[in-house]
Amino acid sequence: MAVEERSKDEILHKFKERQVFAQRLLEEANRLKSEEKILGMQRIEKQIKAEMEMLEKLLTGSQIIKDHHIKSTNLLHLEGVIHIIKNTHFMLSKSKGSLTAVERFFKFTDSTGIVQNTMVDVVCNGGDSVLAEQARQERKDPLWPMLQKATEGKSLLACKTAIDDFKSILSVVAGPSEKERAKELLSRINVVPDQPSERARNLHNSGRIKERAKIIFGTGDSLQAITLTANEGFVRAAAGRGISFNVIVHPCRALAELDYKHSVKTNERRETGADIMPTVLPS
């Protein structure tokens, strides 16, 4: 270990204080995990341990320890996270995919000591707000009229992969009315074999370009058909590699009926958009 000479004692003192501080944070995170049963504390523990390892490497290594090494750690941020968890009136934690609460108020004490109240309209999917946001978008700009206009007087086609995936999703997450609307939609669609075009097949897989999407978009490309899709990520990624597909991109819509069914009254579901049914096959 080497220490900057002009403030050696002071820096060493701060360094040791930071190590003790990190150990106390780790103990508190472990307590919250084991006693309070708060999900996700393993991640906080892992981050604290990473900071402790970094401090240990500085202590045993040959690099000159300077004041900015101590100040640049994430321990203060992690302390803030643990402080909020400890001072929240109650913590809700559920596995992804479950509905925890509707219009739930959270109470917490901010850094100035003032108690704050925050209302979260839907606590679901581990706190994900995507469903509620999609419902608001649907109320403002309904998707179905746009799709009706786009498909009017045209034959509807879907490849086998798209149909199989759509039915699989329906069987797991769709509510009764959503399944009924899906049945009506499927009756209008002609199923064709997977037949992706060569240029689609030749796209290299990446975070945005998956094999399944290559099959679906590629089949539409082979048939010289327009693909209705919410997968704008694939369209942009393919265009970035010089491959443009003939598409109509529409906003995302989720199957949300079951998430709200047991927690919100029927008239409230209509107001929140919970009766929305996706009207096209995934692509």
pLDDT single digits (tens) 202-238: 999 988 899 999 999 999 999 999 999 999 889 999 9
Number of H helices, E strands in the chain: 13, 8
**Same domain, yes or no, for 257 and 174?**
yes
**Same domain, yes or no, for 108 and 174?**
no
What is the pairing mode between strands 247-249 and 227-229?
A: parallel
Q: Could you tell me the two tokens for 31?
A: 């307590």
Alpha-carbon distance of 166 to 210, in angstroms, equals 16
What is the pairing mode between strands 189-192 and 156-159?
A: parallel
**Same domain, yes or no, for 164 and 65?**
no
Name the pTM for this structure. 0.50
Predicted pLDDT at 207? 81
Nearest one of 271, 283, 260 to 102, comparing CA atoms: 260
Domain C-terminal end among 87, 112, 140: 87
Q: Could you tell me the two tokens for 22?
A: 């990190």
Predicted pLDDT at 181? 87
**Same domain, yes or no, for 146 and 253?**
yes
**Same domain, yes or no, for 140 and 206?**
yes
Nearest one of 200, 240, 249 to 221, comparing CA atoms: 200
First-to-final CA distance of the chain: 57
Count of domains for the chain: 3
**Same domain, yes or no, for 142 and 258?**
yes
Is residue 227 domain-resident? yes
Is residue 185 domain-resident? yes
Predicted pLDDT at 120? 52
Provide the residue range defining the domain that includes 123: 93-127
Is residue 278 domain-resident? no
Question: Model confidence over 169-205: pLDDT tens digits?
Answer: 888 888 888 899 899 889 999 999 999 999 999 999 9
**Same domain, yes or no, for 66 and 103?**
no
**Same domain, yes or no, for 103 and 183?**
no
**Same domain, yes or no, for 135 and 247?**
yes
Alpha-carbon distance of 75 to 58, in angstroms, equals 15
Task: Return the CATH number at 143.
Answer: 3.40.50
**Same domain, yes or no, for 37 and 8?**
yes
**Same domain, yes or no, for 118 and 135?**
no
**Same domain, yes or no, for 198 and 170?**
yes
Domain C-terminal end among 87, 111, 146: 87
Is residue 153 domain-resident? yes
Positions of the chain with pLDDT under 70: 1-8, 36-39, 61-73, 87-135, 256, 258-283
Are the beta carbons of 85 and 38 closer than 8 angstroms?
yes
Residue located via tokens 């499927």: 186
Is residue 277 domain-resident? no
